[in-house]
Amino acid sequence: MQTPILETERIILRPLELSFADDMFNNWTSDPEATKYMMFNTQTSVEETKDFVRMVEAEHAGGNSYNWGFFLKETGEIFGSGGIDYSEERKMYILGYIIRKSLWNKGLTTEAAKAMIDFAVYEAGITTIFSCHAKENIYSGKVMEKVGFVYQQDGMLTSIDGKRTYESREYLFTV
């Protein structure tokens, strides 16, 4: 199934594409605070962000990945991204998200996460989704709980390059 366009009260979620990379870099992938607890490192060039988007696009080709750019309806501006991707290691889908810092604590992440979960359950037939956050990133945990995830256990979270490790809290969403 292809990644569809989703719409909420304040957000349009569009399938992630290379043309978004410049704005992604300027709005959050280059921000050390926004990326502090992400699996990817803070990006230092637009080319790094383009490489990330290319990686996501390649995952889409496998059919087990749904990723979106989050756009404010009011302005048309991209302010975040997220997705639901199948993990061979965990044998289930994983939810992830990030938005630019200036829009934190406005309910937008929760709104986007709910749209992704609703898509997963009602359109893609996904019944179990994993998510986790660094323990210090308590607001991400609040988003997870608001959209129906239930805390399971503590764990460890390691960045893609293996250079950063965090204590984490792991959650499951089940239908």
Give the tens place of pLDDT for each residue, 16-75: 999 999 999 999 999 999 999 998 899 999 999 999 999 888 877 777 899 999 999 999
Q: Is the pLDDT of residue 149 over 90?
A: yes
Segments making up each domain of the chain, as ranges: 6-174
Which pLDDT does position 160 carry in this prediction?
A: 86
Q: Which residue has the higher pLDDT, 106 or 60?
A: 106
Distance, in Å, from the CA atom of 45 to the CA atom of 43, rounded to the nearest integer, reads 6
Distant-in-sequence, close-in-space partners of 172: CB < 8 Å, separation ≥ 6: 128, 129, 130, 149, 150, 152
- Is 45 or 160 the better-scoring residue by pLDDT? 45
Paired sense of beta strands 92-99 and 128-134, if any: parallel
For residue 81, the model assigns a pLDDT of 97
Question: Average pLDDT of 147-172?
Answer: 95
Average pLDDT, the chain: 95
Q: What is the mean pLDDT of residues 119-139?
A: 96
| Burial class of residue 48 in the structure, from the number of CB atoms within 10 Å of its CB (0-12 exposed, 13-18 middle, 19+ buried) | middle
Q: What is the CATH superfamily name and number for domain 6-174?
A: Gcn5-related N-acetyltransferase (GNAT) (3.40.630.30)
Paired residues of 158 in beta bridges: 165
Give pTM, 2 decimals: 0.95
Contacts of 102 (CB under 8 A, 6+ apart): none
% of the chain surpassing 90 pLDDT: 88
- Please compute the mean of the pLDDT values over residues 142-166 and round it to a whole number: 95
pLDDT confidence of residue 60:
72
- pLDDT on residue 110: 98
Alpha helices per DSSP H over the chain: 21-24, 46-61, 108-122, 138-146
For 27, which DSSP code?
Answer: I
